[in-house]
Structure 1
């Protein structure tokens, strides 16, 4: 999930208004579930600018559990990815799965977001709000799951194929997954953060795709969004990976131009040219010898 990386000045005022209108339609969160502070009062997104924290063993172990749950729920959602299923049904399913396992769906009430997951179909780049829209044969859909468990967040997303997707759509989705896996492989202590964006830019040039630059990866743990900020395009930002850092890698690759607009709901980011995009996301831990994708389910 990548709320903290939005670049539109009017977004948060729109979101607050939208949030207020939707409170009466919210799903139920059991009283025994541990909730983040933003459940009780409106918070703006956390900042990804600053010095990244080094997680201690306890924080790593707790984050590992939240990431495992997020990955499991995301994989479970694959059973619903078929023509006729609505994005609202996916949201309800994921919400119930997370709550029944003792977790909290992190997007719910974060900066006023009204649902428990993001569902982004076809030309929706990210932050799609689940609703009554039914999937149809040939769609592609990204489902973004973040779980808050025992005081830590775990974040992941995956783009699914719905039925018979055309060759170009399949190419886009497979390329997006390949890109993230290669990014994970280059992460290790001493690697500059900007190596990720430089790799993605080179990858897209070869694949004849574009990366959408308006959204970035981020650190997480006790906070949903924290340093470091992981830019997905060619950049010269300073900073190096160190053992114990935890952050997401989540580039959005597009068949068209990299420009997006945010709709009146204050969240849904759509491509200006109507072209499709695909995204995969993992939360990774920098280890002594490399990196580990904490949300990857084997």
Structure 2
């Protein structure tokens, strides 16, 4: 049975389950760092084709920010997490006088588990109109930031990737920064984890609706993606929840696969998860892109 996940750190954990905890993955470099007592950052770099094949991910950087015990509405923890995410974003998108960024919120605002992108973008400081109004090319305090919520194909009749490509042609950003919902194999990841990657993203992947991929190759410019797992497939949830009670895990996996439990689930407090993590990610983006204002 394929344990579905969009998280590189969970692919790493699955490798360790089969090869022993702490096993070195060929072609993959892993480093961890703590931000205070509650936030841990794990940086996974897939360096070659061997690592890509084992991890089932494209080569590139995958940064996982984990909040111990979840946010639980704590403003102090949210600020610490935002600072950690901002630091990682700054490493991927270094600020400079002429920096232009298009921030894109993928997903459907009317479907709570899929609304992380639109909710986050609504909290971003957009500045492109100011640069146009004052006819300036750059600024020492803030980046030239534009934003887009492309919606979903069922509502617009258009591929998100095509809309984003068109917006990038208009705004000419150096970087496209995409926010989307993801899928995890562990229910505990849904209120504790943020993933950042420079390898791009497939819109709707978290909700099982794979569309045209957003990568540096397809967009013609750097793409950085930030995601939070908001859903888990039913089979993975059952196996994860009962792992300590199953006498024959392989038999259980076979049964679930034959039963074709082709559905995804989300926790009852998903509205709080979206609220907290959209604030964390928006704050981090504002800090990284507008250091003279928010740092």
**TM-score, normalising length from structure 1?**
0.30
Select the structure that is richer in helix: 2
**Based on CA coordinates, which of the two structures has the bigger radius of gyration?**
2
